[in-house]
Amino acid sequence: MAQIKLSNLRHSYMPSPKGREDYALKEIDVTWRDGGAYALLGPSGCGKSTLLNIISGLLTPSEGQILFDDRDVTTLPPDQRNIAQVFQFPVIYDTMTVGENLAFPLKNRGVNASTIKRRVDEIAEMLDVTDMLGTKASGLSPDNKQKISMGRGLVRDDVNAVMFDEPLTVIDPHLKWKLRSKLKELHQRVKATMIYVTHDQTEALTFADEVVVMQDGEVVQIGTPVELFERPQHTFVGHFIGSPGMNVLPCEAIGDRAVFEGHEVALEGPTKGDGGRTDLGIRPEYVGFGDTGIPAHVTKVSDIGRHYVVSAMVGNIALKAVTEHSVPEPGSQVFLQFKPEQSRVYRDGWIATEERAQ
Amino acid sequence: MRTENQRAWFFVLPVLALVAFNALVPMMTVVNYSVQETFGNNQFFWEGLGWFEQILRSDRFQAALGRQFLFTFMILIIEVPLGIIVALSMPRKGFWVPVCLVLMALPMLIPWNVVGSMWNIFTLPKIGLLGYFLNDVLGINYDMTQQPLSAWITVIVMDVWHWTSLVVLLCYAGLVSIPDAYYQAAKIDGASPWSVFRYIQLPKMKTVLTIAILLRFMDSFNIYTEPFVLTGGGPGNSTTLLSIDLVKIALGQFDLGPAAAMSLIYFAITLLVSWLFYTLMTKDDAE
């Protein structure tokens, strides 16, 4: 069990990186509290797997340090870091039984037989695989195989952190949910720090206490699922999280007002800084319909079950609104109202409005 | 209402005809010869299983069979581990991969009789590079045309040179198909290099290794051209393997009956051992 601290971490796969673009990880400074459940969320190629491999020791970073409880482990090999990793595709030792698979990491560390048996039984019970202990691991279904690879990580009682690299990729949809709740349950029982890498926002938001959103090798925002949803620090976060994502509308910012297509919109607070490209960011959930407001032309209405997604045009700009009732007809003219405390200006992608004092 | 007819059988006919002419008919001719005696003039007399009994009882056949098993055993025990070691030490990616693959494939591209001639010239004492080097530079008394042991070593080394590549290439194909995650997981689990080999690489190579061993068994058990060109079965009878002996009886002495009986016994042994190998090596999967 340990707190994990990444300090000024940079990594490049090139031997002599020149510009900023040559780095797969640009500048990472994160501290993860002992026993927390974290998710690394980002699109493919954003550097999240690189970051994970650096933490587990499969990669040595070009620059910066990794500290486990203030102990520098930057150059230590994986087996000396006491971490466990679950990979995208289940890794099991085909010729061994389920029990032997679970005992393998302990055996390699010279743990005595009675302790091995106790730990294996404990973990098997936790994972609901007790009745499979004697069977060959090669014949298991993917979800059970993935459970076994998880178990091999949890069986050691000295693990600092368990890392998951998109572990549900090959699992059938109806079992994904089951395995995810198993994971959550395991986290509560073993209290190890867990880091979960995924590009699926549902997985990240349901698993983690805190989500680290990454884009192009940079951390864009760290926050609880609610924070990420309510107050995205970057248009990327707004767009990536939420379904549909945040509306990002080109605008001009004047004090605590934004002018969007000639219509004035009240913001959550005054705008900081100047210059750059300014956009108005508002989630579809906070776009309402009224008798007055910004005139818009409804182009499409999609029924997605719980609510309706209304696509509309304001001038030449498309935006989306989410509504549960009073659905406008496609082709009709409506008035949109933006919730002021959820309307923000982003300058060059980053948030530029101050939070209104409560 | 379903109409059924047997017309589909016509589609099988061409294959049947082909197989009949290239396998069944020649095979049945051999069976025919094996139970008859001829004194020429195309006159045949019924012999029953006499030839089979005679062949199985003969010292000559038993000795050739013994040599054949020894030869196959020796080359398997050298080529399989050596092939695995070479495959393990080959690079997995980068510039050297194609270079290594081409170098490995080269010996297999050479026609068998050329391999025999090459090694013959290479190992002749006085004339051959190796023969000269061993005798006149290192002072080792080596003459594969005179000494049975030298002849045996030469035949085995030649086969190892010619065919280890096959084992290497098959094992290599098995090795490169192992995802990186397996090695990473093994590192995290603290597995030793031996454990990685024993629990990851060997199991993943198993299928291709089974094929490699089967192919090498069948090929080496039926080997003819290379040792025939190299030693001609000599000195004496020391490297007369089954196939060489068979050709001597069939074409040298023109004893059609005994030769046919011997062919069938030879065929049965090859088939039986191959089946045994296959069953033993794949029985774990069935569990």
Q: Does B200 touch chain A (CB under 8 A)?
A: yes
Q: Does A93 touch chain B (CB under 8 A)?
A: yes
Pairing outcome for strands A350-351 and A344-347 = antiparallel
- Quick one: three-class SS letters along A173-224? HHHHHHHHHHHHHHHHHHCCEEEEEECCHHHHHHHCCEEEEEECCEEEEEEC
Q: Does A88 touch chain B (CB under 8 A)?
A: yes
Dihedral of CA atoms A267, A269, A270, A274 in degrees, nearest 10, equals: -70
Q: What is the pLDDT of residues B62-96, one digit of tens each?
A: 888 999 999 999 999 999 999 999 999 998 888 89
Q: What is the pLDDT of residues B136-182, one digit of tens each?
A: 888 788 888 888 888 899 999 999 999 999 999 999 999 998 888 89
> Do A238 and A245 contact (CB within 8 A), yes or no?
yes
B185 → closest Cβ in A53, A87, A96? A87
CB contact under 8 A, B203 and A93: yes
| For range A290-295, the mean pLDDT | 85
Q: Does B187 touch chain A (CB under 8 A)?
A: yes
Q: Does A135 touch chain B (CB under 8 A)?
A: no
The CATH class that applies to domain A4-230 reads: alpha beta
Structural domains of chain B, ranges and CATH numbers in brackets:
44-281 (1.10.3720.10)
Residue of A nearest to B201 (CA): A93
CB pairs under 8 A between A and B: 54
CB contact under 8 A, A93 and B187: no
Q: Domain ranges for chain A, please list them.
A: 4-230, 244-351
A56 → closest Cβ in B179, B188, B192? B188
Tell which of B189, B192, B202 to mutate to test the A interface (max A CBs under 10 Å).
B189
- Quick one: three-class SS letters along A16-35? CCCCHHHCCEEEEEEEECCC
pLDDT of res. B287: 46
ipTM of model over 0.90: no
pLDDT averaged over every residue in chain A? 85
Q: What is the pLDDT along chain B (287 residues), one digit of tens a residue?
A: 566 778 888 889 999 899 988 888 888 888 888 888 877 777 777 877 877 888 888 888 888 899 999 999 999 999 999 999 999 999 888 889 999 999 999 999 999 889 999 998 898 887 888 888 888 888 788 888 888 888 899 999 999 999 999 999 999 999 998 888 898 888 888 888 998 999 999 988 888 898 899 999 998 998 888 888 888 877 888 888 888 888 888 887 777 888 888 888 989 999 999 899 888 887 766 54
Q: Does A13 touch chain B (CB under 8 A)?
A: no
Strand, coil or helix: what is A59?
coil
Q: Does A308 touch chain B (CB under 8 A)?
A: no
> Do A106 and A115 contact (CB within 8 A), yes or no?
yes
Determine the Cα–Cα distance for residues A170 and A172; give it in Å rounded to an integer. 7
Say yes or no: domain A244-351 is CATH 2.40.30.10.
no
The Cα-based distances of B127 to A31, B73, B91 in angstroms read 76, 31, 38
Q: Does A82 touch chain B (CB under 8 A)?
A: no
- Decide if A4-230 and A244-351 have a common fold: no
Q: Does B191 touch chain A (CB under 8 A)?
A: yes
A136 → closest Cβ in B188, B191, B287? B287
Residue of A nearest to B186 (CA): A105
Determine the Cα–Cα distance for residues A229 and A241; give it in Å rounded to an integer. 7
